Structure 1
Amino acid sequence: MSKKNVLILCTGNSCRSIMAEALLNAKLGDCLIAQSSGVKASGAVNPNAKALLESYGYWRDEYHSKVIETVLDTAFDLIVTVCDHAKESCPMFPKAVKTIHVGFDDPSGKAKEEYEKTLLLIEKELLSVVKKELCN
């Protein structure tokens, strides 16, 4: 069985989408390959997000903040937007691909505990949705 491709799409690609990418690869890596990008990528991974992912053993040196143009040639099976609709506009992927939204508040600039809360929410709310879509 070939692995499915999922893109986690956000605005800045520095925190939530990176955490989701790392979590999905760690937990569902037997059935999918997760990537992330942003429409206005910050160019850097949030250091608190990176430290948290390292503490869980999810971090890979290949994870970095990247603009959407760098992944346009990949044939994705699913796009997941993780931005918070109430506070920001979610980006659109320019190709016809099934897209779902599972939004999370941005922990950037908040206490370190908020990063862990966000990671645990991503695990609780996103993992099962993506697993159902791509791994059954």
Structure 2
Amino acid sequence: MKKNVLILCTGNSCRSIMAEAMINAKLGDCVHAQSSGVKASGKVNPHAKALLESKGEWKDEYHSKVIETVLDTPFDLVVTVCDAAKETCPMFPKAVKTIHVGFEDPSGKAEEEYEKTYDRMEKELLPIIKKELC
């Protein structure tokens, strides 16, 4: 049975969506990822979406959603990806294992910053998810 992971950040428009898509594309045989934000912006960052499309990892079901929509899901792991120095990471109320792997928000920066964030997630986040859940 697949394990459930929640990727949590502030706006749920960029980093958490990228992580959700990456995890589902690369570890989808053992993990189902969802993402959410405390102040969900309601829209996916177009550069993040374009990057995921170019990698063949975008799915139309990915969208920016508030934490209330996922509160009833029994997650095995919650990962906060906020840049802890600049943002307050949300807390997930259910008592599940929570880890923090922070990434700077590329929103509003040059397009190559999105690629850098993606690469860092692949190097730093994926191995942790794999070790914890696969």
Residue 16 of structure 2: SS of its match in structure 1? helix
Alignment correspondent of 2:45: 46
**Structure 1 match to 2:6:** 7
How far apart are 1:120 and its partner, in Å?
A: 0.5
Structure 2: how far apart are the matches of 1:92 and 1:125? 21
Query: Structure 1 counterpart of 2:71, which letter?
Result: L
- Distance in 2, Cα, partners of 1:95 & 1:31: 22
TM-score by length of 2: 0.99
Matches within 5 A, 1:99-114: 99-114=98-113
Quick one: percent identity of the two aligned structures?
83
Aligned partner letter, 1:77 = D
Q: Secondary structure of the residue that 1:6 maps to in structure 2?
A: strand
Output the amino acid matched with 2:91.
Answer: M
In the aligned structure 2, how far is the partner of 1:95 from the partner of 1:40?
Answer: 19
Aligned residue number for residue 80 of structure 1: 79
Unaligned residue ranges in structure 1 (runs of 5+):
none
Q: CA deviation at 1:83?
A: 0.2
5+ long unaligned stretches in structure 2: none
Tell me, in whole angstroms, the C-alpha distance in 2 between the residues paired with 1:92 and 1:113. Answer: 30
Whole-angstrom distance in 1 between the partners of 2:36 and 2:87 = 16
Root-mean-square deviation (CA, aligned residues, Å) is: 0.3
What does the per-residue CA deviation read over 1:39-97, in whole Å, with 9 as the maximum and x for residues that have no partner?
00000000000000000001000000000000011000000000000111110001100
- Equivalent residues, number: 134
| TM score, norm. by length of structure 1 | 0.98
